[in-house]
Amino acid sequence: MKGRGILPDDVTMNTTLCFLCKAGMMDVAMDLYDSRAEFGLSVSCMAYNYLINTLVGDGTIDEAYRVLRNSIEHGYFPGKKTFSIISDALCREGKLDKMKELVFVALDRNIMPNDLTYDKFISALCRAKSTYVPLINGFNKLSRGDIAARLLIEMQEKGYHPKRKLYGEVICCLCQTDDAEKQVFRLLEMQLARLQPSSRIYNFFIDGAGHARNLELARQVYEMMTRSGLLPDLNSDILMLQSYLKSEKITDALNFFHEAYKRRDRRKLWQTMIVGFCKVNKPEHALQIFEIMKANKLPSLESFEELVKLYCHHRQYYKVVELINDMTQIGRPISSFIGNVLLLNSLRTRKLYDAWACLSHKQNLTPVSWKLGQLVLKIKEESKCEEQDKFSLISRVGIQQLQLLIFFLAVFHVLSSFLIFSLGTAKTLNKEQTVESPGLNIMTTMF
């Protein structure tokens, strides 16, 4: 017809579509369907039903849903049988967003899905990963760790892989129960039976017990891992160190660090100790570890950030300035986090500038540290009182000037990276190559 210049009408096209669907020639049928606009033809309700039903039967659910959306846009809604077929397919394939959209479209047109459709939709929602996670979180908040653990197992049976955070929250909740040890080890045994034993599984349980501050349980899991023939990895040691520090078992933490250090001398172990001591408000201990680390390793940015934050909290601003100076000397840039901490403390008190001014006369500050001190001075000049509420300062100085100050901090962050790279990188690299690792006998006499 097309070759002879005879244009088909709606009846011809719809009849052809239905025939192609019956013959199983869906590629040809979809090509004809997609070219309908070229002829200015419209698809009938029967042809839409044929297309949708056949596409679902072939397993091309997304294509069937696209045709369904097109039919709705043109004013056709599928019949009850077709609606039931595509609903069943969407639920079976777990395409719940599309199913939810379809139900809303039906309700907007005052079409009520039957009870069977609702049953399948609700059942599919209950099996979805997106449903398990909030359900487990809800039972954790209700302190029903037993139910949360069962849901976690059921979630895995459906083929979903819980994230570490979800694991930890369930284990942490189980640690709050009366028979915590029994509950946690039962879940651990089920995990080991379901999955191939690995340090990763044990790490989940060490992490959860550590967050619950159940040090004894975390230690038992760690020892159980070693007895099973698995070697603890770096993450295992870090999680165990964090468990000791969260429970504020300082001596035990140092002893464990000593043993872990002998197995592997990694910077993350040192960082864990420094950050852990900072989080439990032990600045002296953190600084001692930090000073030992500096002898042969480059401290991490997080270590500097936590120390600066903690010393600012204790208003030991001389220590803060020394840390900033050390930081710029070894090649670490001033992070936005440190900039925000310094800005906040500059608004609170002039003591930060006083410490900077005093140390600038006693020792040679790096160019970056000196410029940062001048920036603190600008804030100090705006403040007449020794202690002033930061919100009062904003009203006096003005929003524009404060925004300008924040802008200067951002520019300063970029400039400091460049200056530090040129001033400190060569010195740092040379230091790392020549300095030997210090002995751990210092650790045993530290406290």
Q: What is the pLDDT of residues 184-229, one digit of tens each?
A: 999 999 999 888 889 999 999 999 999 999 999 999 999 999 999 8
Using the structure block, give the residue that is written with the tokens 């579509």. Answer: 17
In a domain, 279, yes or no: no
Please give the tally of structural domains in the chain.
2
Is the residue at 372 inside a domain? no
Which of the listed residues 181, 198, 230 is the one where a domain comes to its end? 230
For residues 177 and 92, state if they share a domain.
Answer: no
**Backbone φ, ψ for residue 79 (5° rounding):** -70, 175
Same domain, 144 and 156: yes
Do both 103 and 132 map to the same domain? no
- Ordered per-residue pLDDT tens for the chain, 447 residues: 556 555 566 677 778 878 878 787 878 778 777 777 666 677 777 887 788 888 888 778 888 888 888 888 877 887 788 888 888 888 888 888 888 888 888 888 787 888 888 888 888 887 777 788 898 999 999 999 999 999 999 888 888 888 889 999 999 999 988 889 999 999 999 999 888 889 999 999 999 999 999 999 999 999 999 999 898 999 999 999 999 999 999 999 999 999 998 888 888 999 999 999 999 999 999 999 999 988 888 888 999 999 999 999 999 999 999 998 888 888 888 888 998 898 888 888 888 888 888 887 777 777 777 777 777 766 655 554 444 454 454 444 444 444 444 545 554 444 444 444 444 443 443 444 333 333 334 343 443
In sequence order, the 6+-apart residues with CB closer than 8 A to the CB of 195 are 201
Same domain, 16 and 123: yes
Q: Is residue 209 part of a domain?
A: yes
Supply the pLDDT for residue 433: 38
Place of tokens 């995990």: 191
115 and 136 assigned to the same domain: no
20 with 121, same domain: the answer is yes
**Boundary (domain end) residue, out of 170, 201, 230:** 230
Looking at the fold, whether 135 and 122 belong to one and the same domain comes out as: no
* DSSP-derived secondary structure letter, 197: -
d(CA 412, CA 336): 10
Nearest to 156 by CA among 122, 129, 136: 129
Q: What pLDDT score does 190 carry?
A: 92
* Domain final residue, candidates 173, 204, 230: 230
Determine the residue type at 148: A
DSSP conformation class of 435: P
Residue 430 included in any domain: no
45 lies in the same domain as 121: yes
Q: How far apart are CA 307 and CA 221, in angstroms?
A: 31
Residue 201 lies in a domain: yes
DSSP 149: H
Containing structural domain, residue 140:
128-230
On whether both 74 and 137 belong to a single domain, the answer is: no
Flag whether 220 is in a domain: yes
Cβ neighbors of 260 (< 8 A, separation 6 or more) are 237, 240, 241, 269
Instruction: Tell me if the pTM is above 0.85.
Output: no
Question: Hunting for tokens 């030991």 — which residue is that?
Answer: 316
Where does residue 268 rank: exposed (0-12), middle (13-18), buried (19+ CB within 10 A)? middle
Answer whether residue 397 is part of any domain.
Answer: no
Distance CA 132, CA 130 (A): 6
Q: Are residues 104 and 177 in the same domain?
A: no
Q: Is residue 289 part of a domain?
A: no
- Same domain for 14 and 120, yes or no, is yes
The alpha carbon dihedral of 184, 189, 191, 192 has a sign of positive
CB 152, CB 167: distance < 8 Å: yes
Regarding whether 148 and 93 lie in a shared domain, the answer is no
From residue 27, alpha-carbon distances to 33, 72, 86 in Å are 10, 22, 20
Which residue intervals of 178-282 are DSSP H helices? 180-194, 199-211, 215-227, 234-246, 250-263, 267-279
User: Residue 68 sits in a domain of what CATH number?
Assistant: 1.25.40.10
